[in-house]
């Protein structure tokens, strides 16, 4: 039975090996940890230490070679692709370094896209989008396209979009990697405040020391292993 005490994420003995021309690459080896509900975990490690691979395995975007990943009481490795897609849509949200916004859509349309895909009524969509844009502080830029926004503003739109379907778990891969120090800090502060306000759980990979300071837990990887 899932209770408030069940961790949001439990990773056990996780391994991911990629075959490559130069031989096998052990991107992750025997990684185990858990993340409690309502907390923020910072994922840190040098370039190539396995952070993206780990986040992709957590989000069901990549399949582990060994071990298990349990998200919100559901073991991902036991699901078929269709069930994994449903889990991603209903419970998870992703934020990437490169924002991933659709260039031809306005900020508001980008944020409304997950609601549209879920079949939400137009009235509900409009209200939720306005709320989310205000929440991330870009209500005034609702009609602008990504190309007309700064990097920090684009990441705010991406965060608002990630929150659209009220996910349980937010997975962010270096969300401030493309931003200057000042906008990076403000995006991190925003992420922290929305995750706390919505009672979500977040796992955020970062090189940013200030995020590590504000996280409840730090998961440190070195050469694919927990350090
Ligand atoms: N699809 C793939 N095929 C082969 N090797 C891969 C693949 N994806 C990742 N790797 C290798 O796995 C290791 C871990 O990569 P990963 O991208 O997870 O690291 P990272 O910590 O996210 O790095 P960065 O901070 O630079 O993004 C690296 O050695 C990488 O070259």
Centre of ligand 1 from the C-alpha of residue 134, in Å: 36
- In CATH, the number for domain 9-226 is 3.40.50.300
Indicate whether 1 pLDDT > 80: no
Name which residue sits closest to atom 30 of ligand 1, judged by CA: 48
* 42 within ligand 1 shell (Cβ under 6 A): no
- Which of 20, 27, 43 to probe ligand 1 with, by most ligand atoms within 8 A of CB? 27
d(CA 206, CA 196): 18
Average pLDDT over residues 49-55: 96
Q: Could you count the other beta carbons within 10 Å of the beta carbon of residue 64?
A: 23
Mutual angle of helices 122-135 and 151-163, in 10-degree steps: 130
Judge contact between 134 and 109, C-beta under 8 A: no
| ipTM passes above 0.85 | yes
pLDDT single digits (tens) 131-147: 999 988 999 999 999 99
The pTM for the full model equals 0.91
Instruction: Sketch the domain layout of the chain as residue ranges.
Output: 9-226
């Amino acid at each position: 039975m899932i209770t408030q005490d069940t961790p949001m994420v439990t990773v056990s003995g996780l391994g991911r090996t990629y075959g490559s021309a130069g031989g096998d690459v052990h991107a992750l080896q025997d990684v185990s940890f858990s993340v409690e509900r309502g907390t923020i975990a910072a994922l840190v490690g040098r370039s190539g230490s396995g952070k993206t691979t780990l986040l992709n395995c957590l989000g069901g975007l990549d399949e582990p070679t060994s071990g298990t990943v349990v998200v919100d009481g559901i073991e991902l490795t036991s699901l078929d692709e269709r069930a994994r897609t449903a889990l991603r849509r209903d419970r998870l949200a992703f934020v990437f370094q490169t924002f991933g916004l659709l260039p031809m859509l306005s900020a508001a349309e980008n944020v409304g896209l997950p609601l549209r895909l879920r079949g939400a009524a137009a009235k509900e969509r409009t209200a939720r989008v306005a709320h989310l844009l205000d929440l991330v502080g870009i209500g005034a830029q609702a009609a602008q396209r990504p190309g007309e926004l700064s990097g920090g503003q684009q990441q705010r739109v991406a965060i608002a979009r990630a929150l659209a379907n009220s996910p349980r778990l937010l997975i962010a891969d270096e969300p401030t990697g493309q931003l200057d120090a000042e906008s990076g800090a403000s995006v991190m502060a925003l992420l922290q405040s929305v995750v706390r306000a919505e009672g979500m759980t977040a796992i955020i990979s970062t090189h940013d020391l200030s995020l590590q300071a504000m996280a409840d837990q730090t998961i440190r990887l070195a050469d694919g292993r927990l350090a």
